[in-house]
Structure 1
Amino acid sequence: MKPVSYLIACCATAALGLALSSCGDSAAPETAIGAKPASKSAVHQAAPGTALKLAFITNNSSEFWKIAEKGVQKANAELNINVEMKLPETGKVEQQKKIIEDLVSQGYNGFAISLISPADETRDIDKAGQQLNVITHDSDGPQSKRLAYIGTNNFEAGKVLGEALKKAMPNGGKIAAFVGTLAADNAKQRLEGIKKAIAGSNLSVAVTKEDAKDMTKARTNVEDVINANPDITALVGLWSYNTPSIVAAVVASKKTGLTVAGFDEEDGSLQGIADGVVSFTVVQKPFEFGYRSSKLLFELCTKGEAALPAEPIIDTGVEVVTKDTVADFQKRLADLKK
């Protein structure tokens, strides 16, 4: 779900995007909110000449992942490999577990995964790591033995959103936050980051609503909060599809005076900014998730231990898109999707 778009650098550096960083075997930074990662699995180096079987697993089929797929495609072209996209259509843990099981049984050499529920999937990740290389992206599993995490430092991203809310709402107010599930580390960490940033201010998170990735419920959750909580003055979407759902509900309700904000660059969010319904969105770099995950999987298989980055967390950064910057951002996004 997933963190600004990799898009700025993508235009500035020949469609690749922001600079790469590295990862390794040290205590996790604030991304994991104090969680200490488990020891890593062994690196599985493939025999020379092996036709590598690699996969990039998302946590749902959101539009967000189409940009990550572009990154995967770029790595495939550069490295002459074939990293396959695996999208659990239902966004359910059981479906993602089945994908993991299938990849292991089919002799894959490695995969990168955005975990739907890290606590429920740690055992699956560790078991898979006994036979192939496993890294995480977007939503980490710091207690697992994954080899690295590539994606947004979601705690820091939450703090960025919280700071932006303080500027947008100098008089304070009550916030309602919407997400698929708070069991996912990225959602939990974003919310914790928001709370950290607004601590000591007149802002507070009063309501949280989960929709289990049900698009109908994502909207009705917002409608219910608007109708039942007249004192709520800010609506925040923690996952990419939540902000467009908020926009639809707010427009239908005709209620004014609400500050709407969220994460990622779905069309509904960007149009909401252009129309003045959304104040801002904090965007990640999904292109970079795909590109850098694919490249690291390839290097782990071909170089072995030498490919392990120096730090276990690769933070890809974020960007705040506002009404002043949305047109330029949309242009860069369109260029990336070509």
Structure 2
Amino acid sequence: MTNRTKWNIVVLLLLIVFGYVLVQFYLSTQRIRGLVTPLEASHEERANRQIALISQELDNPFWRSVEQGALEAAANYRMELQYMGPFRIDADEQMKLLEKAIASKMDAIILQGIGTEEDRLLIEKADLLGIPVITVDTDEPGSKRIAYVGTNNALAGQEMGRLVAKGDQDRRGVIGVLVGSLDAANQRLRLEGFKSVINTYKGLRIADVRASNISRLQAAQQTEEMLREHPDITTLVGFSSLDGIGMAEAVARLKPGQVSIYAFDDLEDTLTAIGNKQIQSSIVQQPYQMGYQAMSLLNGYFAGKSAAPKQYTPISVLTEKEVLAR
């Protein structure tokens, strides 16, 4: 065998070994990629799910609490939350934000039911596009929403009625009522529930019902007008979060210590007023839980799980005793 032949054989063997190494390297790379890609895809799929939370009012403390609950759940489920809302209560602006969320092809939408045909049609449009919608705080019955998460507002109103009746030992009081909005479905349900209890007591009478537009200033103004027009009012009831504080301010100016006040929610100023005996008690909702639970339902929905159409969050009653114990 000549030297040239030997050299050719050596080169051939080297090429074979080199080719074998390349093939093994390629196969190993593919196996690693096959293991890593599903994990990356799964993570990316979850992380890329964009959830819109449309609030009634951007910086309202109640809605900020809903946002905080939703944010914590979003982090746990590797979703991304986009919180939005009008600067002041504006149903038309809420509609525009809903339209924008649908046009942006969000993966899901959480919103307050507005109670209009246009709202229901937009929810139906989202459903047709495969975008699940969950209502919080206020339901949108008859719509294509997959679930409602929030207070049973009719029962909350009834509980308020029982509190007032219990507080008025003689059952002969005259009542002034504030609601956040006369058009909001949750406020109407609370008022209806309240009336259903108060009307069972012949001596109790509702003298006036007004809207505060969820404004502390307007709550105070409306209360002052009620007290001037109905000087026999002995009890004031507020069904939105800023009503109690506004009522307390008005009573302090016009009839200090002469009117019993019942509020809604647990803002710091409300708690302070309860501790100072300016407010008798307050019915407290769970907005943080609403946000968290809504996101949890969406996580289950994406996993193919069904949910009950109404998911009621609990309420509690805060009195001076509970406030001082905090």
1:222 aligned partner: 223
Query: Which amino acid letter does the alignment assign opposite residue 236 of structure 2?
Result: L
* Aligned-CA RMSD value: 1.8
Secondary structure of the residue aligned to 2:100 is: helix
CA-to-aligned-CA distance 1:207-242 (integer Å, 9 cap, x gap): 110133454322211110011111111111111111
**Distance in structure 2 (CA, Å) of the matches to 1:102 and 1:64:** 23
State the shift of 1:163 in Å. 0.7
Correspondent of 1:103 among 80, 101, 104 = 101
Residue 83 of structure 2 is aligned to residue 85 of structure 1: yes
Secondary structure of the residue aligned to 1:127 is: helix
Query: Which amino acid letter does the alignment assign opposite residue 165 of structure 2?
Result: K
**Distance in structure 1 (CA, Å) of the matches to 2:324 and 2:257:** 24
- 8 Å Cα contact 2:123/2:145 also seen in 1: yes
- 8 Å Cα contact 2:85/2:97 also seen in 1: no
- 8 Å Cα contact 1:91/1:116 also seen in 2: no
- 8 Å Cα contact 2:218/2:246 also seen in 1: no
Count how many residue pairs are aligned between Structure 1 and Structure 2. 279
Secondary structure of the residue aligned to 2:143 is: coil
**Distance in structure 2 (CA, Å) of the matches to 1:94 and 1:261:** 31
State the shift of 1:145 in Å. 1.6
- 8 Å Cα contact 1:56/1:294 also seen in 2: no
CA-to-aligned-CA distance 1:283-305 (integer Å, 9 cap, x gap): 011111110111212332x22xx
2:157 aligned partner: 158
CA-to-aligned-CA distance 1:272-326 (integer Å, 9 cap, x gap): 11010100000011111110111212332x22xx3221x2111111100001111
- Matched-pair identity in %: 29
CA-to-aligned-CA distance 1:143-181 (integer Å, 9 cap, x gap): 212110000000011111111111111212121111221
Tell me: CA distance 1:217–1:120, structure 2 relative to 1, closer, same or farther (3 Å): farther
TM-score by length of 1: 0.78
Q: Which runs of 5+ in 1 are unaligned?
A: 1-46, 332-338
Q: Which runs of 5+ in 2 are unaligned?
A: 1-40
Tell me: CA distance 1:275–1:120, structure 2 relative to 1, closer, same or farther (3 Å): farther
Higher helix proportion: 2
Matching of residues 63-142 of structure 1 within 5 Å? 63-119=61-117, 121-131=119-129, 132-142=131-141
**Distance in structure 2 (CA, Å) of the matches to 1:165 and 1:69:** 32
- 8 Å Cα contact 1:166/1:198 also seen in 2: yes
Matching of residues 170-209 of structure 1 within 5 Å? 170-172=169-171, 173-201=173-201, 202-209=203-210
**Distance in structure 2 (CA, Å) of the matches to 1:115 and 1:181:** 13
Query: Which amino acid letter does the alignment assign opposite residue 251 of structure 1?
Result: A
Tell me: CA distance 1:57–1:219, structure 2 relative to 1, closer, same or farther (3 Å): same
**Distance in structure 1 (CA, Å) of the matches to 2:179 and 2:198:** 19
- 8 Å Cα contact 1:92/1:116 also seen in 2: no
- 8 Å Cα contact 1:83/1:294 also seen in 2: no
Secondary structure of the residue aligned to 1:129 is: helix
**Distance in structure 2 (CA, Å) of the matches to 1:269 and 1:164:** 17
1:315 aligned partner: 312
Query: Which amino acid letter does the alignment assign opposite residue 261 of structure 2?
Result: V
**Distance in structure 1 (CA, Å) of the matches to 2:198 and 2:75:** 44
Tell me: CA distance 1:205–1:97, structure 2 relative to 1, closer, same or farther (3 Å): same
Using the TM superposition, name which of 48-57 and 174-183 deviates more.
Answer: 48-57
TM-score by length of 2: 0.81
State the shift of 1:118 in Å. 4.2
